Structure 1
Amino acid sequence: MPCFQCGARQTDPVRGSSPWKRGVRADRQVLICPDCLAVADAVARLDRCVACGSVALGCRLGEIECRDCGHTREAVRDEGAHAGDLVPSGAHPADTGLSEEVAAALTRFFKRDPGT
């Protein structure tokens, strides 16, 4: 899943906690990259808890739950919306080079030459 703000994809994870953060936007789980976290606009565009105003929301099994106060509500899905609707206007999911990133990760994992 790319960053909802800029479309960047996570690289291979390192040990420890991830600098990427989760949030909810338009009742869908999204990720925010570390660069966009530094921009106040990215956090301001996230959904907020109706009970406490926190942006620490998580989406699971059709529910939105606040990780701060525990308030839950049903996620409202717009059937006309698609996952690509949350990709920034300058990026398209097919343009992010995901297939090349996956091939490179598999090559590193299996420690093999990509031509074999």
Structure 2
Amino acid sequence: MPCFRCGARQTDPVRGASPWKRGVRHETQVLICPDCQRSGDLDLDTCHSCGSTSLICRLGEVECRSCGAVRLATGRHGTCSAPPRPTGAPGLSEEVAAALDRVLGRTPRR
């Protein structure tokens, strides 16, 4: 899953914890790359109980990792579904095809 904001793809991390963060935006689980985390204006959903943005979305529920509060996803924006790709961001299949073209010396596909 790419960063919801810039479309960057997560790479294999060096040993230790990943610098990428999870969040919930419009009741959709999203990943946030380290660069976008620094921007601060991510517009993530917040917990109705404690105001934290440390939320996870699963099976139609949104759970706060800070206080443990659980609520049903309302379904207004989609019920804990995969996020849409950022506009103009290529999908994984397009990225793989482009990488193969580069490695094999083929003419880029159109």
Interval of TM-score (by shorter of Structure 1 and Structure 2):
0.7 to 0.9
User: Moved runs in structure 1, 4+ residues, more than 6 A?
Assistant: 79-82
Q: Secondary structure at the match of 2:66?
A: coil
Aligned partner letter, 2:93: S
Aligned counterpart, 2:4: 4
Aligned partner letter, 1:3: C
Aligned counterpart, 1:99: 93
Q: Aligned pairs, how many?
A: 102
Aligned counterpart, 1:38: 38
Aligned counterpart, 2:108: none
Aligned counterpart, 2:70: 72
Q: Give distance in 2, aligned partners of 1:12 and 1:101.
A: 16
Aligned counterpart, 1:110: none
1:13 aligns with 2:32: no
Aligned counterpart, 1:49: 47
Residue segments in structure 2 that go unaligned for 5+ positions in a row: 105-110
TM-score (norm 2): 0.74
Q: CA RMSD in A?
A: 3.0
Residue segments in structure 1 that go unaligned for 5+ positions in a row: 108-112
